[in-house]
Amino acid sequence: MKKILFASQNKSKVSELILLTDTYLEILTLADLSYTKEIPETGETLEENALQKAKTIYNTFHIPCFSDDSGLFIDNLNGEPGVHSAHYSGNRDHGQNNQLVLDKLHGASNRKAHFKTIFCLVLSPDEYHFFEGEVHGQIATESKGNGGFGYDPIFIPEGYSSTFGELNSSVKARFSHRARATQKLIKFLAESFK
Ligand code: IMP
């Protein structure tokens, strides 16, 4: 069985991904290798951050590894909060981040937005691949629902009238940005490693 390392400290992402993989692949986590340091994320794009995280971990353990970076991109705010999604309001408080977005879009009719995830897979010092997933929708006029995390209570995906915060998590898991990027990564790994 091939071993691959997921360069993430986020336990829910790790378990989500392990569920999606087949038996040909063993996904190791940073916890399995007792790695607890914070991984630097100083890029100006999702791609730069994902590559930086995957390379940091590859250079430490020298086995194939991948990482992810995500964000919310709002058309009317020139793509903000984008790569700064986690601490848009100045700290990592989801409620404050959501309120800032609602305030900035107060009265706006164009509320189009999308979530995007980039995975970066590093197979050797000079071989790396990117996989992208997006989900498009609208920013709601008020925060609704307690499900999910981050901007879920203010994001209404295309084809729905409820926010990700109101929808069942299994609905989100079917077509979210992360699910779409994960499917591409898993397909690539299946073809490369089988
Ligand atoms: P990460 O790179 O996946 O940790 O995401 C960075 C930030 O983007 C998070 O802290 C959230 O604010 C936002 N974000 C990413 N994915 C989602 C999502 O699925 N729902 C809501 N917010 C998200």
Q: What is the tens place of the pLDDT at every residue in 58-112?
A: 999 999 999 999 999 999 999 999 999 999 999 889 999 999 999 999 999 999 9
Q: Region 136-160: what's the mean pLDDT? A: 96
Give the per-residue pLDDT at 14.
79
Q: Are 139 and 29 in contact (CB under 8 A)?
A: no
69 is catalytic: yes
* Residue 34 CA, ligand 1 centroid: distance in Å: 25
> What percent of the chain stands above pLDDT 90?
75
Among the atoms of ligand 1, which is closest to the Cα of residue 88? Answer: 12
DSSP string of the chain, one letter each residue:
-EEEEE----HHHHHHHHHH--TTEEEEETTTTT--SPPP---SSHHHHHHHHHHHHHHHH-S-EEEEEEEEEEGGGTT-BGGGGGGTTSSS-HHHHHHHHHHHTTT-S--EEEEEEEEEEEEETTEEEEEEEEEEEEE-SS---SSSSTTGGGEEETT-SS-TTTS-HHHHHHH-HHHHHHHHHHHHHHHHH-
- Distance CA(166)–CA(38), nearest Å, equals 32
* Closest protein CA for atom 17 of ligand 1: 150
* 137: confidence class by pLDDT, cuts 50, 70, 90: very high
Q: Tell me which residue has its CA closest to atom 9 in ligand 1.
A: 86
Q: Six-digit token pair at 49?
A: 């951050």
* Tokens coding 128: 């790396």
Count of domains forming the chain: 1
Which structure tokens are listed for 185?
């990564």
Query: Of residues 22, 32, 68, 69, which has the active-site annotation?
Result: 69
Rounded to the nearest 5 degrees, what angle is found at the Cα of 38, between the Cα atoms of 36 and 44?
150
Name the residue with tokens 């050797």: 124
The boundaries of the domain holding residue 121 are 2-192
Q: Residue 76 belongs to a domain with what CATH number?
A: 3.90.950.10
Rounded to the nearest angstrom, the distance between the alpha carbon of 63 and the centre of ligand 1 is 27
d(CA 93, CA 109): 26
pTM: 0.93
